[in-house]
């Protein structure tokens, strides 16, 4: 239908016996939209709404999850046409959490462009995607800082996992200008997405945001596969204050061997779940769908799927991509509204 698709959803977690209601506002592209390949519906429980369930339990309150998302949008589009143009959603007095994600489509478009190249490889398309991401992530944080209601208690970004990690382990059609040889696509794309992720988390550190490291959550096993004394998904996480060179060096060098395609997310050495849908791009989900897309957005209400959380985790926290991202967002939730 089009290269971009507005997929806006309002879903309220209606908790029994509560009267207070607070708002979580999420801006982004197809990830926060809960895109599932449909132009008319999306996942009811994409990551921000999953987080809202955790928040409802923590605060014993109703939580209104507002998702203002545009599938297919690059970072500039999310910034200008969602965060700026739809700022009123985060200016409501009930707002307590503002979150956003972007840059995935900058990366996907650059990847497609690079894959189609013949002749001499032009790496500039990857550099441009990284630079655009940096510009608009920083601008988005500055704008949210200036415009979110003063009642906002948490501002948090989610960085990028690497969809198609296994599929990209092939040679390019273009040839490197220096060697005259084709290049491994994954070896070229991984440093680019790693730089994007570094600056998402580093700008978050600088500008008063938290950073949910979805790359680490999706791409590393939940056990110590290389016997370095750290669980892989913990070892891959951004470390506050580290340099870009150090972070990129860890992900593309010393820890690269622990990276796994998120289609097979190992939660133990013997069991795994599929975090990526059949399109090899978007997170898996459970809990049904809501109208969101060409027929407009939707507003709905429902009871929380779980009334309490053992050790701060739902029974399905690590079984689906959106459940994992929602849990990862929730670890930063304030103790009270």
| Per-residue confidence band for 204, with pLDDT thresholds at 50, 70 and 90 | very high
Q: Domain range spanning residue 269? A: 5-330
Residue 337 forms part of a structural domain: no
pLDDT higher than 60, residue 163 = yes
Residue 323 forms part of a structural domain: yes
**pLDDT for 307:** 86
pLDDT higher than 50, residue 279 = yes
Q: What is the mean pLDDT of the chain?
A: 97
pLDDT (mean) for 162-173: 98
Residue 216 token pair: 């680490």
Rounded Cα distance between 105 and 86, Å, is: 20
Enter the DSSP assignment of 260: -
Q: What percent of the chain has pLDDT over 90?
A: 96
Residue 171 forms part of a structural domain: yes
The pTM of the full predicted model, rounded to 2 decimals, is 0.97
Q: CA Rg, the chain, in Å?
A: 19
**pLDDT for 15:** 96
Residue 17 forms part of a structural domain: yes
- Cβ atoms of 157 and 101 within 8 Å: the answer is yes
Enter the DSSP assignment of 284: P
Q: What percent of the chain has pLDDT over 70?
A: 99
Residue 336 forms part of a structural domain: no
**pLDDT for 295:** 84
| Per-residue confidence band for 296, with pLDDT thresholds at 50, 70 and 90 | confident
User: Hey, how many other C-beta atoms are within 10 angstroms of the C-beta on 47?
Assistant: 31
**pLDDT for 3:** 81
Rounded Cα distance between 15 and 56, Å, is: 7
Domain count, the chain: 1
The backbone torsions φ and ψ at residue 27, rounded to the nearest 5 degrees and listed phi first, read -110, 145
Rounded Cα distance between 265 and 260, Å, is: 7
pLDDT higher than 80, residue 2 = no
- Angle at which helix 47-59 crosses helix 321-330, to 10 degrees, equals 40
Residues 85-105: pLDDT tens digits?
A: 999 999 999 999 999 999 999
pLDDT (mean) for 279-291: 97
| CATH number where 188 lies | 3.40.50.1110
Residues 105-161: pLDDT tens digits?
A: 999 999 999 999 999 999 999 999 999 999 999 999 999 999 999 999 999 999 999
Q: Label residues 253-276 b or e (16+ Cβ within 10 Å = b).
A: eebeebbbbbbebbbeeeebbbbb
Residues 222-248: pLDDT tens digits?
A: 999 999 999 999 999 999 999 999 999
Secondary structure class of 289 (helix, strand, coil)? strand
Contacts of 137 (CB under 8 A, 6+ apart): 75, 102, 103, 157, 199, 200, 203
Q: 298 or 203: whose pLDDT is higher?
A: 203
pLDDT higher than 90, residue 294 = no
Residue 123 forms part of a structural domain: yes
Residue 16 token pair: 């029994």
Residue 262 forms part of a structural domain: yes
pLDDT higher than 90, residue 259 = yes
**pLDDT for 162:** 98
| Per-residue confidence band for 1, with pLDDT thresholds at 50, 70 and 90 | very low
Residue 222 forms part of a structural domain: yes
């Amino acid at each position: 239908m089009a290269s971009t698709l507005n997929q806006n959803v309002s879903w309220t977690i209606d908790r029994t016996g509560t009267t207070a209601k607070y708002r979580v506002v999420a801006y982004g592209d197809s990830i926060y939209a809960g895109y599932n390949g449909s132009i008319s519906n999306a996942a009811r429980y994409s990551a921000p709404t999953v987080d809202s369930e955790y928040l409802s339990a923590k605060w014993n309150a109703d939580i209104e999850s507002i998702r203002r998302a545009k599938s297919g949008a690059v970072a500039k589009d999310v910034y200008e046409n969602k965060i700026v143009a739809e700022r009123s959603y985060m200016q409501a007095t009930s707002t307590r959490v503002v979150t956003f994600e972007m840059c995935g489509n900058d990366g996907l478009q650059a990847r497609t462009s690079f894959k189609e190249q013949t002749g001499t490889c032009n790496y500039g398309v990857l550099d441009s995607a990284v630079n655009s991401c940096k510009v608009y992530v920083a601008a988005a944080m500055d704008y949210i800082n200036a415009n979110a209601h003063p009642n906002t208690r948490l501002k948090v970004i989610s960085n990028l996992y690497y969809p198609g990690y296994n599929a990209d382990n092939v040679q390019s059609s273009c040839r490197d200008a220096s060697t005259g040889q084709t290049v491994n696509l994954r070896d070229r794309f991984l440093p680019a997405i790693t730089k994007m992720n570094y600056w998402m988390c580093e700008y978050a550190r600088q500008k008063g945001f938290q950073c949910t490291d979805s790359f680490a959550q999706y791409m590393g096993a939940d056990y110590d596969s290389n016997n370095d004394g750290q669980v892989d998904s913990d070892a891959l996480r951004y470390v506050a204050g580290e340099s870009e060179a150090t972070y990129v060096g860890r992900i593309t060098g010393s820890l690269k061997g622990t990276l796994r395609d998120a289609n097979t997310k190992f939660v133990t050495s013997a069991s795994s779940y599929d975090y990526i849908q059949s399109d090899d791009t978007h997170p898996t989900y459970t809990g049904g769908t809501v109208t969101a897309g060409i027929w407009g957005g939707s507003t709905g209400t429902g009871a929380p799927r779980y009334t309490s959380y053992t050790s701060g985790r739902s029974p399905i926290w690590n079984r689906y991509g959106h459940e994992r991202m929602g849990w990862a967002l929730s670890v930063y939730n304030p103790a009270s509204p």
